[in-house]
Amino acid sequence: MILEVPCRLWIALAIILLYGVFRSGSNIAKLKTIPGPWLYATTRFRLAVDAWQARSVQAILSLHRQYGPVVRIGPNEVSFNSLSALKAIYGAGSVFERTDFYRMFDVYGRPNLFTFGSGKLHRDRKKLISHIYANQTVLGPDFGPLVQNKVTGFLSLLEQEPEHASEIFGSLHYFSLDAISEFVYGPDYGGTKALSGCKQSRELIQDILNPARRRLAWYTVHFPAYTKWITTRSGLLERCITSLGLMPMRKPYTYSGIRQHALRAFHSFRNAPALDRVNAADNTVIGRLLKVQEMANMTDMDIASECADHLLAGIDTTADSLMFMIWALSLPQHQEYQERLRRELSRISVDASGFPIPKELTQLPYLNAVVRECLRLYSPLPTFEPRSSTVDTVIDGYEIPAGTIAGASPFCLHRDEGVFPSPLSFRPERWLTSSGTLVPESDLRNRYFWAFSSGARMCIGVHLANAEMFTLIAALYRRYKTSARHPDTSPGITSRFEVFSDETMPKMVEHECWIDFVKLTESN
Binding residues for heme: 459
What is the DSSP pairing of strand 498-500 with strand 489-495?
antiparallel
C-alpha of 259 from chain center: 17
* Strands ordered across the beta sheet of 77-80: 70-74, 77-80, 405-408, 385-389, 96-98
**3-class state of residue 278 by DSSP:** helix
Q: Which residues contact 38 (CB under 8 A, 6 or more apart)?
A: none
Q: Using CA of residue 444, residue 445, residue 446, residue 451, what is the dihedral sign?
A: positive
Residues annotated in the binding site, as ranges? 459
Q: Using CA of residue 489, residue 490, residue 495, residue 498, what is the dihedral sign?
A: negative
Residues forming beta bridges with residue 72, ordered by sequence position: 78
131-134: Cβ within 8 A, 24+ apart: 132/282, 132/283, 132/284, 132/285, 132/288, 133/460, 133/461, 133/462, 133/463, 133/464, 134/463
Are 417 and 423 a contacting pair, CB within 8 Å? yes
Distance CA 515, CA 524 (A): 19
Looking at residue 71, its amino acid is V
Count of CB atoms situated within 10 Å of the CB of 146: 22
Written as one string, the DSSP assignment of 218-264 is HHHHH-HHHHHHHTT--HHHHHHHHHTT--SSPSSPTTHHHHHHHHH
| Cα–Cα separations (whole angstroms), residue 140 to 137, 143, 146, 273, 360 | 5, 6, 10, 26, 12
Q: Which residues contact 407 (CB under 8 A, 6 or more apart)?
A: 78, 79, 80, 89, 384, 385, 386, 387
Q: Using CA of residue 31, residue 35, residue 40, residue 44, what is the dihedral sign?
A: negative
